[in-house]
Structure 1
């Protein structure tokens, strides 16, 4: 095999298989300057493994489709440059471990869409019409950070609560959707509480906030650099604990409920 003047031959191990099982397959493939791992996967499809299944779309780090694990770390194939590896090392590409295999590098991430549907949406204030919403810039910035999420589900994949304990999935929404709950709970225009929806209570009781032990692994793999743990999960935990255990908050809630009953 010949390469360009700036190219070299890299060793790859790529997982091949389906729901019945599979194994790592060895490849030697050309690498050229400036390429990312997705380029190499495409070259494998073009030259050696035309039936290799991989999910991708934008190749610009904005659609989240090409999530996989590279040398055991959840990454986007299109945002992982070949230059971060030495020419001598063997690069292993495997599917997301937390989700069921479909084929090769493609997994069934339907779990995440199920959890998304379980989070009640934004509740608009009843006394404001379209075009009347006003927010402080600080509140806009806070929500904007969380809305950078491209739903690559790398945080869901690396979270050991989901990754290592299949039986937790029913009760635990995972960092991506707890972040969504936190965003809505902090939103100054969300009218959920006034309409009987306590987002802090549902985070704890329905979405499994207590399962999170804030290891920050979700933040470490986020390609958008969202501080999921520090800016969403920890503040949400603090508000949930205040709601349940702070004596002043407890007393205030009792007084408010008594006033509503009279």
Structure 2
């Protein structure tokens, strides 16, 4: 795609702004971020756009291009028809600081509320053993580059601003799921997933999965399995019966026997293969 294109860019600060049209040269093989940089160098030197790696690995250049949340550095200009106007706007879910730059700090505040990885203190370094299936599951979730496109399209955050304090969004629900599925994590995170991170708000529309630039199956491999674990804890008839007759999981006030997790399940052994937590393909 050589020649010129009309780039329609959101300009303004805070909630005030407007779309401005620019005619910008385009060369073969360029991406939207290249054209934005040329626009900065020629007609709009004060244009604010966040970027870092230009390789689709930092998540900084998240914007909406023709209404679809994308990474500007991974969206090629040849996706658009010759003469088509390319509209670039900031992510609409987050407060706009200036032009294409949004304030995503609320996501990081929510991230700090997640309890960190909690292994059995009796397991010493070098004694952790994981099956390849568990390793692959963790690696999928850790591919996240925190572009926050998933949180941007989540209707719970987008349409209900008052939920942001109670709902972490798919990005950090996935983090909770990652820790809950880790075979050596001893914490029971099902209660906080529901009560502190708002898992119940999610209605698994899969919009978060559709926009993920790393192709992480957020809904199928993280959110649905996490919902299943919460449902088992709340609605399993055996658990209900145990509560009725006075059986409860061990609490902080009750000494926990060696080899037993805080939720009453057997802890992973110190050597050999750990006791696997059920993954996305099991309940």
Q: TM-score range by the shorter chain?
A: over 0.9
TM-score, normalised with respect to structure 2: 0.86
The one of 93, 105, 108 equivalent to 2:103 is: 108
- Structure with the higher helix share, 1 or 2: 1
**How far apart are 1:170 and its partner, in Å?**
1.1
In the alignment, structure 1 residue 67 sits paired with structure 2 residue 57: no
**Residue in structure 2 matching 1:24, options 19, 28, 31:** 19
Distance 1:81 1:245 in 2: 48
Matched, 1:118 2:113: yes
| 1:163 and 2:155 matched | no
For 1:213, which of 199, 203, 208 is the aligned residue?
A: 203
Greater displacement, 226-235 / 129-138: 129-138
Q: Give the secondary structure class of the aligned counterpart of 2:167.
A: coil
- Report deviation, 1:118: 1.0
- Tell whether 2:168 aligns with 1:173: yes
Q: Distance in 1 between matches of 2:45 and 2:231?
A: 53
Q: Which of the residues 105, 110, 126 maps onto 1:131? A: 126
Distance in 2 between residues matched to 1:20 and 1:14, nearest whole Å: 15
Q: State which drifts further: 21-30 or 250-259.
A: 250-259
Show the counterpart of 2:226.
236
Rounded to whole Å, the distance in 2 between the matches of 1:132 and 1:151 is 31
Structure 2 unaligned spans of 5+: 256-283
Q: Does 1:45 align with 2:35?
A: no
Residue 239 (structure 2) pairs with residue 249 (structure 1)? yes
User: What displacement does 1:218 show?
Assistant: 0.2
How far off is 1:248 after superposition?
A: 1.9
Q: Which one of 4, 9, 12 corresponds to residue 14 of structure 1?
A: 9
C-alpha separation in 2, matches of 1:102 and 1:138: 42
1:249 Cα deviation from its structure 2 partner: 3.3
Task: Verify the 8 A CA contact 2:15 2:96 in the aligned structure 1.
Answer: no
Partner deviation per Cα, 1:146-177 (whole Å, 9 max, x = no partner) = 00000000001011111111111111000000
Segments of 5+ residues of structure 1 without an aligned counterpart are 1-5, 193-197
The 1-side partners of 2:17 and 2:28 are apart by 32
Using the TM superposition, give the Cα deviation of residue 257 of structure 1 relative to its aligned residue in structure 2, in angstroms.
3.9
Are the equivalent residues in 1 in contact too, given 2:15–2:95 (CA < 8 A)?
A: no
After TM superposition, give the deviation of residue 131 of structure 1 in Å. 1.8
**1:221-243: CA deviation from partner (whole Å, max 9, x where unpaired):** 00000000000000100110111
One of 89, 99, 120 as aligned partner of 2:94: 99
User: Which residue pairs with 2:74 in the alignment?
Assistant: 79
Q: Once the two structures are superposed, what CA deviation does each residue of 1:86-109 show, in whole Å capped at 9, x if it has no partner?
A: 112111000011111110000110
SS in 2 for 1:210: helix
Instruction: Provide the secondary structure at the position in 1 that maps to 2:78.
Output: helix
| 1:256 shift after superposition | 5.0
What is the rounded CA distance, in whole Å, between the counterparts of 1:122 and 1:164 in structure 2?
32
Q: 1:176 to 1:20 in 2, by over 3 A?
A: closer
**TM-superposed deviation, 1:20:** 5.4
Q: Structure 2 CA distance, aligned partners of 1:177 and 1:144? A: 15
| Structure 1 residue 252 displacement after superposition | 5.2
